[in-house]
Structure 1
Amino acid sequence: MSLIRLDDVWKEFGDQIVLERVSLEIAPRAFVALVGPSGCGKTTLLRMLLSQERPSRGEITVDGLPIAPEATADRGVVFQRYSVFPHLTAIENVILGREFEAAPLLGRLFGRRRRAARAEAAALLDEVGLGAAAGRYPSELSGGMQQRLALAQAIFRRPKILLLDEPFGALDRGVRADIHALVRRLWNEVELTVVMVTHDLSEAFSLATRVIALERTRDRPEERERYGATVTRDIEIWPRRIAGAGKGSGADHA
């Protein structure tokens, strides 16, 4: 059964065709990496999955229904630039989405609900290695710590789908390896379907269960506006989940 389905999706900006004839089915719990040269529409496709862009033609469905016209809590996102609020502490950043979801007018929880949310957020910060930094502001955190915070922020709302837009590109190699391990562990432990845009092929093949390449099959200057990128390779990589990653998951060592 497909969680995400794209049927003959095209995306055009004015006279320029960016994507054409994109048809995909993504199963629940998959970890999909979108790769391809710069300008091939990877981020545009991710923005459509986030409802920040709409297809010019074709249809995108989630759980068999047309994708919601606006971003919803079932889709979390982490960008390359740390999407955290500088005026809030780490724990306040994590619970903010829950507060606006539960109390859209005030954007704040009170009493028992706030205590429960803070306890849950504190446990998640422990999971991502930020337990001791719960009361610190983003400016007091390193780049790797801020990206851990952004992951916690996205996961706290319990999305079905996690969208990653080159989230590790600004990190140095050592920090990136730590964050890769964290993402792999979170994906194994949390019921998530992940779609990640990356320009790094080694990252794609080390993290994903499926690597999808987008390319322009016609790329001469006079063809760039008339033809867009499409899926040229779709590579399954199994198994990827670690042992004991979930009941009935068929997990094995990566």
Structure 2
Amino acid sequence: MSFVTVRDVFQTYDRRPIIERVNVSVEEGEFISIVGASGCGKSTFLRLLLAQERPTRGTISINGAPPATEPGLDRGVVFQKYSVFPHLTVRENIVAGESFRTGWGRFFGANRAAALARADEVTVRCGLDHVADQYPATLSGGMQQRLAIGQALAARPRVLLLDEPFGALDPGTRLSMHDFLTELRTETGMTVFMVTHDLDEAFKLGDRVLVFDKPRWDPHDPNAYGATITYDFDARDGGIPFQQLKDDTHVFQAH
């Protein structure tokens, strides 16, 4: 049985279809890259996976559980904009990430000491141990994004959702973040969904690359139809279409 199962999912805003007939199954530990034109529902799909939104139709299940009605601790998320607490140090941000599991509970006494020790382990993993007592504003963009990912990991999610996490970084920092994410994924075995506009990045990091697009288009009403998964490429096999799409004769051209 697949770990993440998406069945016949539709999402509509004010009668305007955003995505429609989305079906996909993902095994635990897979890295799924999501690409497509702006406005074709990629971030909407990520919010549905997070359970920040509920689909108009269809179901999304993780590990066979009933569809979630709100974000849970089994899912972590990192956005392009650094989602960390500016008034907390690097170490305190990591502790805050772990506190998500206790409903924003505070740690005291021996529990706090243990939480700080675990936070130090995360800062080492993230390459931030030398700035653990500094505040986010003093860090570079790459360091802040490492902190955001470390904070998400501190909550020990089974699914990590990334929405353009490296889009605002310079090329050198972006490459180092690719290495960092690959190492973390190997160490943790998490299932990852990443939205990106960079096709090279999508195929480099992903096991599979899902392409969102509108297969139906009305020139008189561009919003008449929603987007769906039009291609499912196996990035581990030179871009060969995955599973049921292996017999598809179309070729996705990367420009």
Q: Confirm or deny a common fold (TM above 0.5).
A: yes
5 Å-filtered alignment, 1:73-112, equals: 73-102=73-102, 104=104, 107-112=105-110
Indicate if the aligned counterparts of 1:218 and 1:224 stay in contact, CA closer than 8 A: no
Q: Does residue 1:60 correspond to 2:60, yes or no?
A: yes
Q: Secondary structure at the match of 2:220?
A: helix
Whole-angstrom CA distance in 1 between matches of 2:174 and 2:100: 31
The one-letter code matched in structure 2 to 1:40 is C
The one-letter code matched in structure 2 to 1:127 is R
The one-letter code matched in structure 1 to 2:209 is V
Matched pairs, number: 238
Whole-angstrom CA distance in 1 between matches of 2:98 and 2:163: 22
Shift of the 129–18 alpha-carbon distance from structure 1 to 2, 3 Å rule, reads: same
Which contiguous aligned blocks of 4+ residues in structure 1 show a shift greater than 2 angstroms? Answer: 97-104, 218-226, 237-240
Name stretches of at least 5 consecutive residues in structure 1 with no aligned partner: 241-254
Tell me by how many angstroms 1:73 deviates.
1.0
Counterpart position of 2:215:
217
Shift of the 223–66 alpha-carbon distance from structure 1 to 2, 3 Å rule, reads: farther
Tell me by how many angstroms 1:100 deviates.
4.4
Q: Secondary structure at the match of 1:222?
A: coil
Whole-angstrom CA distance in 2 between matches of 1:3 and 1:167: 23
Tell me by how many angstroms 1:129 deviates.
0.7
Whole-angstrom CA distance in 2 between matches of 1:217 and 1:102: 44
Whole-angstrom CA distance in 1 between matches of 2:179 and 2:63: 29
Whole-angstrom CA distance in 2 between matches of 1:101 and 1:186: 20
The one-letter code matched in structure 2 to 1:118 is L
5 Å-filtered alignment, 1:29-44, equals: 29-44=29-44
5 Å-filtered alignment, 1:119-130, equals: 119-130=117-128
Whole-angstrom CA distance in 1 between matches of 2:150 and 2:103: 20
Whole-angstrom CA distance in 1 between matches of 2:174 and 2:165: 10
Counterpart position of 1:245:
none
Shift of the 174–49 alpha-carbon distance from structure 1 to 2, 3 Å rule, reads: same
Whole-angstrom CA distance in 1 between matches of 2:181 and 2:98: 21
Q: Secondary structure at the match of 1:28?
A: coil
Counterpart position of 1:7:
7
- Deviations, residues 54-111 of structure 1 (Å, cap 9, x unaligned): 100111111112232111111011000000000000011111132243364xx31011
Whole-angstrom CA distance in 1 between matches of 2:98 and 2:125: 18
- Deviations, residues 196-228 of structure 1 (Å, cap 9, x unaligned): 001110000000000000101123443433211
Shift of the 66–222 alpha-carbon distance from structure 1 to 2, 3 Å rule, reads: farther
Counterpart position of 1:131:
129
What is the TM-score normalised by the length of structure 1? 0.90
Counterpart position of 1:252:
none
Whole-angstrom CA distance in 1 between matches of 2:117 and 2:197: 37
Indicate if the aligned counterparts of 1:211 and 1:235 stay in contact, CA closer than 8 A: yes
Indicate if the aligned counterparts of 2:3 and 2:63 stay in contact, CA closer than 8 A: yes
Indicate if the aligned counterparts of 2:73 and 2:100 stay in contact, CA closer than 8 A: no
Shift of the 103–218 alpha-carbon distance from structure 1 to 2, 3 Å rule, reads: closer
Counterpart position of 1:233:
231
The one-letter code matched in structure 2 to 1:199 is H
Percentage of identical aligned residues: 49
5 Å-filtered alignment, 1:148-167, equals: 148-167=146-165
CA RMSD, Structure 1 to Structure 2 (Å): 1.5
Name stretches of at least 5 consecutive residues in structure 2 with no aligned partner: 239-255
Whole-angstrom CA distance in 1 between matches of 2:225 and 2:103: 46
Shift of the 57–100 alpha-carbon distance from structure 1 to 2, 3 Å rule, reads: closer
Counterpart position of 2:170:
172
